[in-house]
Amino acid sequence: MAGILVIAEQTGGTLNRASWEAIVAAQSIGGDVKVAIAGREVGAAAAELAAAEVAEVIALQHAALDLYTPDGYVQALAAFIRDAEPGLVVLPHTYQTRDFAPKLAARLERALITDCTAIKAHGDGRAFTRPVFQGKLNADVVADGPTPHLVTIQIGAFRVDALKKSGRRAAVRTVDAAVDASAIRQKPEAPFKEARQAVDLSQAERIVSVGRGIKGPEGLPLVQALADALGAEVAASRPICDAGWLPMERQVGSSGQTVAPKLYLALGISGAIQHLVGMKGSKTIVAINKDPDAPIFEVADYGIVADLFDVVPALTTALKE
Amino acid sequence: MKIAVCIKQVITRESQIRVNEQKTWIRDQDATFELNEPDAYALEEGLRLKEKHGGEVVVCSAGPARATQVIREALARGADRAIHVEGELGSGDAFSMAGALASAIKDEAFDLVLTGLQSDDHGFGQVGVVLAENLGIPHATIIMEVNADGGSLRVKRELEGGWFQFVTMPLPALLTIQSGINQLRYATLKGIMAAKKKEIRTVPAPAGLAARQRIVDLYPPQKVKKTEMIGGSAADAARQLVRALRDDARVI
């Protein structure tokens, strides 16, 4: 197989959206695309994947793959990839992939390019675009060394509605995964959520979100006053919650809540990819930041290059006028 | 508990970034540098584990001579000694970084190796996991809590969308630490003075570390939206924005 192998992801038999996005990315390259999915019993998920226009879906099954572990997944996938010899392996850039893909690439002694947002032609091969310096620059990256190269596709970079589907369902093949359960060193417990979240930011119509630009917790009343004048919820980027200035439940981004309000006001937020993933679906985005090169301005409808300590009080006053 | 903490020196977040002529990296001759923030959390966790269980914390960094700046800082915060793998690995890929670190620490038999989740510059998020594979030890990523008990670890991993999971594994092991796991301490004057007497062992980067990826173009991202930039004084800009949100966007 010289084509592309997509590694789809399921939890409890349910496919995630990012798996479909990874298939779209693979289809955009062209050629033969196959999809593998690993787990204990993944026949139903494999059948679902067969709706996509792909050459084959492989259900890679083993009792020891019931709960995800990096040791189990790497054993199963390394053996399968060595056997299948694809030219490229495409994975969604999820927390699970981030946990095992570098180990898989190291085991296979192959290149791994993470969080790709675009794929373009480069000479006879291709380059993969990924953000660097917290999203301030994009790098076009070329993989070296023998194939298969591995790439992970950033969430939201490819659109599921661009998925090519086939009238004929793809063939599904079940493979017994090569896993030595005694060599799995991680013993996972069932996933859980912390105490019920009191704030559901996903339902908020307007959000005033604050980042590093706030400098310290003493600036927060200013932000709260603006939120009150707008009838908005207060949210934050990760560093604000890390510092304990606002509770974790108010964090917007890949590790926090995903939001899509009518209005999202980003105050002093630079716009690293992890934050953009959580808020770029907002209808109208306003960015206020001192740094004119901040990536947040790439997604903003309205931008003001200024110190938030100057603009926020003026904004609160203007709203009351 | 013998703990290694891998740290990286990165360009400061406030830096004006300028692309070099070849468009393969940035012009870092006139840049200022700092300790990669996620690594600062890994260091803090290492220091806390040492305070609880005894042992030592050894910081390891692979990078050019200037990386001694962040190594000194880590020593001033309380690390016991340091290993510096010196070489031009600053723009190297994750496999060369992990290879360099593995060669420097493999003979030390650490019980625990900690790294930050990812770096602020490349942001590969790979070095820790590849290092675990190179050292032949189990790993877990995006860790928010570490409990060590005898020969095993029970750690809390962050999953997506507010989910968490506990995972148990034997020592020695490697963990990549999520920022926010603890509150950072800063170096005291006493710590800074004490750091001057601490050992920094410099070892050369091993030969034959071939990068598996290279940057062929580096450029600012293209805008995905047409942004209306609003200028003027703070009061003027605020009034213009309120008008635009009311009359054009109709979101307030």
Per-residue pLDDT of chain B (252 residues; tens, 9 = 90+): 999 999 999 999 888 889 999 999 999 887 899 999 999 999 999 999 999 999 999 999 999 999 999 999 999 999 999 999 998 675 579 999 999 999 999 999 999 999 999 999 999 999 999 999 999 999 999 999 999 988 999 999 998 877 899 999 999 999 999 999 999 998 999 999 999 999 999 999 998 888 999 999 999 988 778 899 999 999 999 999 999 999 999 999
Sheet holding A233-236, edge to edge: A233-236, A206-210, A263-267, A284-289, A302-305, B228-229
**Minimal CA separation from A303 to chain B, in Å:** 5
B222·A298 Cβ contact <8 A: yes
Half-sphere exposure of A179 (CA within 13 A, CB side): 25
Residue B30 neighbours by CB under 8 Å, 6+ apart: none
Can you name the residues that pair with B94 across neighbouring β-strands?
Answer: none
Residues in Cβ contact with A168 at an 8 Å cutoff, skipping those fewer than 6 apart: none
The sheet with strand A171-176 has its strands ordered as A112-116, A149-153, A88-92, A4-8, A33-39, A56-61, A171-176
Give the SS3 label for residue B36. coil
Q: How many CB atoms lie within 10 A of CB A255?
A: 25
- Least CB-CB distance to A137: which of B130, B140, B220? B220
- Nearest CA to B73 among B99, B44, B110, B95? B44
Chain B residues with CB inside 8 Å of A192's CB?
Answer: 163-165
Percent helix, strand and coil across chain A, each to the nearest 5: 35, 30, 35
Chain A residues inside the 8 Å CB shell of B179: 238-239, 242
pLDDT in tens, chain A (321 residues): 589 999 999 998 899 999 999 999 999 999 999 999 999 999 999 999 999 999 999 999 999 999 999 999 999 999 999 999 999 999 999 999 999 999 999 999 999 999 999 999 999 899 999 999 989 999 999 999 999 999 999 998 999 999 999 889 999 999 999 999 999 999 999 999 876 667 889 889 999 999 999 999 999 999 999 999 999 999 999 999 988 899 988 999 987 888 999 999 999 999 998 899 899 889 999 999 999 989 999 999 999 999 999 999 999 999 988
Q: Which helix (H) or strand (E) holds B131?
A: helix B127-135
The three-class DSSP label of residue B32 is coil
Amino acid letter, A307: D
- Which residues of A are less than 8 Å from B171 in CB distance? none
Q: How do beta strands A33-39 and A171-176 pair?
A: unpaired
Cβ contacts (< 8 Å) between A301 and chain B: which residues? 225, 227-228, 249
Give the one of A98, A249, A311 whose C-beta lies nearest to B141's C-beta.
Answer: A98
Predicted structure pTM score: 0.92
Q: What is the DSSP string of A184-200?
A: ---EE---EE-S--S--
Q: Which residues is B82 bridged to in the sheet?
A: B59, B200
